[in-house]
Chains A and B, each alone.
Chain A
Amino acid sequence: MSRLQVVSGKGGTGKTTVAAALALALATEGKRALLVEVEGRQGIAQLFETEALPYEERKIAVAPGGGEVYALAIDAELALLDYLQMFYKLGSAGRALKKLGAIDFATTIAPGVRDVLLTGKACEAVRRKDKRGRFVYDYVVMDAPPTGRITRFLNVNDEVAGLAKVGPIHNQAQAVMRVLKSRETAVHLVTLLEEMPVQETVDGIAELRTAHLPVGRVVVNMVRPQVLDATDLELVRETPRAELARSLSGAGLGGARRGGHAERLVDPLLAQAGEYAERYTLEQEQRAALGELGLPTHELPLLAEGMDLAGLYELATELRKQGIA
């Protein structure tokens, strides 16, 4: 099992949720996982219903069986200042740089530097050991940028290594790249059973593979429960309306005669079944498209009550059950 688990996905597919559930699942039974956020959105804090995370590793959840989940919102600017302090003992010169806008420049404008700092911090946490030589974190789970940018984000170290041909940033980029392209890392993609997210997933995986980044699993999120199956849908088409009306009437929903309560329910219920059938077909198509990727694929249910902390634990349990952690 790779120790750096990168979770990406198209916007709106719930990658932060999946990353958090994965961290919980991996921490189950006495393990320690670090969940890192790199986009400054404070999505983790919202999910765990806690105040905004500082640039500091702190425990945010206890996993079933005594494990711990720590969280860190990586701030590129602070990471750079840290870094300069570490290598150059800059002190007030660091502040002067900041005043000049150099930090801003390096972290937001200079291509790739920001990404090296973010992935670099995550890789540092992966490699960090305690005094007794054991890894501080069993797993590091990264809530990464969306599918459209993930390859560039992870591969940017190559780019920086090309731009900054010598110097510490160059060395850091090289070191980070060694971790990211090894078996220590797995990049998972979160998708929905809808056309665009699936298409992006397929494209994203092709890009990751071209860049020799290790592709992990596909997680299909928010899968709606199957209420009717293919046989039912076939039956919906064949059953005369009047029979449905009588059946509804038999269930205590009013008269079956034309204009009766039960009879008037038939059309709307059939319309809903029609929408369901259309979606069912589309979902089957998307499942087939994902199947062709030849990757381990997992499905997480849509939570009826919406996403909350309890739901997060539910998803974590589901991930464990499916053997992802």
Chain B
Amino acid sequence: MIETRGFKILRAFGLVFLSAVVLVPLFVVVITSLKPLEDVQGIFTWIPSEITFQPYLDIWKTVPLADYFLNSLIVVCIATAFSVVIAVLAAYALSRFPFKGARTFSLMVLSTQMFPGILFLLPLFLIFTQLQRTVGIQLNGSHLGLIITYMTFSLPFAIWMLAGFFASIPKDLEEAALIDGTTRMGALWRVVLPVARPGIVAVSVYCFITAWGEVLFASVMTNADTRTLAVGLRAYASQTDVFWNQLMAASVVVSLPVLIGFMIVQRHLVTGLSTGAVK
């Protein structure tokens, strides 16, 4: 766009406005997490009476935050790993071989990606109940049950995004390797995967972020022992007093891993989202 003076003035104001929209809630979270308890019991104040890091120490004692953290890590890491491994294979097939049924398979992946989790939660909950009754495998309330439900959204997404990444990698590389006598799996493993690594990392981080922030499945599929952060944070608010300062401190702590991951891969994420979805 050609930048007139009017546009430049508008841009300055616009960027300040958008920054304020983003920053005000973030400021409220961070400043509240640094307040002593007396400060958060009355009307909200923009400036704390004193700055204290005590909430960041207390959060681990008020509720078993470390356990929730560990539960979240286990479930989200395993669900992401399974999804990405299965998706790499399927996406490679979709992006390289014009096989019969490829279109049907893509249609299935694409459409299931768009259905709300509640459509899968009800029947999966019933299947898990019945499995426990007949075979004795406990899935409701177990890590495995939550992992399976998390794959309902991360798997189709990973397949779709990775297929976009693979399609953008030139075929010449593997062809050279195949002519040199490498097996097909070898070509995927040693030639394609190294080139596609930024894409695979971006997809993994994206799956991780989505699963980390998921509430619906976690609210049904976890119990006191397997509670994840998404549900566990409510414990700060369910006592007679709401420990707002601790709740905000805990929010900062649980956001850090995904924020850092996001910052690292954001550039590849843009490429992946726009080639995968907007093709």
Do A and B pair up? The answer is no
Task: Please list the residues of chain A having a beta carbon within 8 angstroms of any beta carbon in chain B.
Answer: none
Task: Please list the residues of chain B having a beta carbon within 8 angstroms of any beta carbon in chain A.
Answer: none
